[in-house]
Amino acid sequence: MNKELEQYRLQAIDWLATHAPAYSGEARKGLSFEQDLALAKTWQALKADHGYACITLPGEYGGGGGSELQKVIFCEEEMRYDLPLVYFSISVNNPLPIFLRYAPEEWRKRLGPPTVRGDLIWCQLFSEPSAGSDLASLRLKAERTEGGWKLNGQKVWTSWAQISDWGVVIARSDPSLPKHAGLTYFFLDMKAPGVSVRPIHRLGEECDLNEVFFDDVFIPDEQQLGEVNGGFRVAVETLMIERYAVTDESGYAPALETFIEMARNSLVDGQPALDDPQVRTKIVDVFIERQGLRAIHHRALEAFANGKEPGPEGAMRKLLLGRLRQSLGSVAMNLLGANGVRLLPDRHPLNDYTRAWLDPSLRIAGGTDELLLNTLAERVLGLPQDHRPDKGKPYNAGK
């Protein structure tokens, strides 16, 4: 790493040491959902004031105007704290970059800066009850009306829809075209008439997921992103961003260092778990995999910086991160014994291995393991594609 980036890291470490403790760990204990969200918005605004929120986005829209590698560095250091970052994990990483790429300039200036500061939160309305990994099979209807479109239908598994002010959504605009070709991408006001949000309750008690219903929801023409019936390409761009958005594996689960400390304070057959050969082997395996994933990620970001298109690295990294999270969580729970199945208050998947093991979202959101394996088989190994009997046929054929 060059001296300029080394200096950037030192500045980030110093800034975080000064400010993060007031928003992290003990500062969050006992807070209600609403209080934790308020704390998160204050932290996001503080980062924006110092150029650390949305580091890679242009300054005229509230971003830091920095590089992808600067973002990697800051996020690696930020993840060392137990900060309330999760509320913005979708908002500033997925919808906002796509919105700034395709929206009219007036809208960018209106919504960009307050989104970066956390005053506005966005959600991503993609999955449906019958369209998850096969996004092109979605059924939410977008029908032409005077001055825009009307949406009718349902979305599901929408993270943070209940606190979102805006969202990006993809809908079926022409069912007479093949399923990949008849989709259009929009952004919409989540408080618009006809939008209703219902929570989905999860085993680990997380409150992020929702189902969203649309009943004659009007979207003006100016809120279309990309071309009519060209929404699938924009959606793929969004998913590529999603797979690269988190810069370090500790953004999904407790860090390896947390596991090592747990092993140091646990016993196996009456001896420190850290001395057990199987535990030590697991630590080495995870460390090697972590360094490999970081190398893949940094190489991909350097390719981005040189104007190249995303490759299969995002699929590879996401697949391995999801499996690593749950395998290390399983070992951690075994070390904890009976306490490994307890769900403690003020804990979440980023600071608790039990909740990380219970939460399969990383192996589902942004493409399931099975979909990612297909991507790697086709794009890396050059294997033939799966048989797709509906390829090239009108979506409504036979319906």
Q: 15-48 burial, b for 16+ CB within 10 Å, e for fewer?
A: bbeebbeebbeebbeeeeeeebbebbbebbebbb
| pLDDT tens per residue, range 323-379 | 888 888 899 999 988 888 888 777 777 778 888 888 777 777 767 888 888 888 888
- Backbone φ and ψ of 105, nearest 5°: -55, -40
Total of domains in the chain: 3
Q: Residue 205 falls within a domain, yes or no?
A: yes
Answer yes or no: do 53 and 160 share one domain. Answer: no
DSSP 68-99: HHHHHHHHHHHTTS----GGGTTTTTTHHHHH
Q: Residue 35 falls within a domain, yes or no?
A: yes
Among 44-53, 178-187, 241-250, 303-312, name the one with the lowest average pLDDT. 241-250
pLDDT classification of 307: cutoffs 50, 70, 90: low
The CA dihedral of 285, 286, 292, 293, to the nearest 10 degrees, is 150
Answer yes or no: do 216 and 284 share one domain. Answer: no
Q: Residue 27 falls within a domain, yes or no?
A: yes
CATH number, residue 140: 2.40.110.10
DSSP 20-45: GGGGSGGGGTT--HHHHHHHHHHHHH
Asked if 39 contacts 21 with a C-beta cutoff of 8 angstroms, the reply is no
Q: Residue 364 falls within a domain, yes or no?
A: yes
Helix (H) or strand (E) holding 123: strand 122-125
| pLDDT tens per residue, range 262-278 | 899 898 888 989 999 99
Asked if 349 contacts 356 with a C-beta cutoff of 8 angstroms, the reply is yes
Q: Residue 203 falls within a domain, yes or no?
A: yes
Q: Residue 324 falls within a domain, yes or no?
A: yes
Q: Residue 241 falls within a domain, yes or no?
A: no
Asked if 125 contacts 235 with a C-beta cutoff of 8 angstroms, the reply is no
Structural domain boundaries enclosing 189:
122-230
pTM (2 d.p.): 0.84
CATH number, residue 361: 1.20.140.10
Q: Residue 396 falls within a domain, yes or no?
A: no
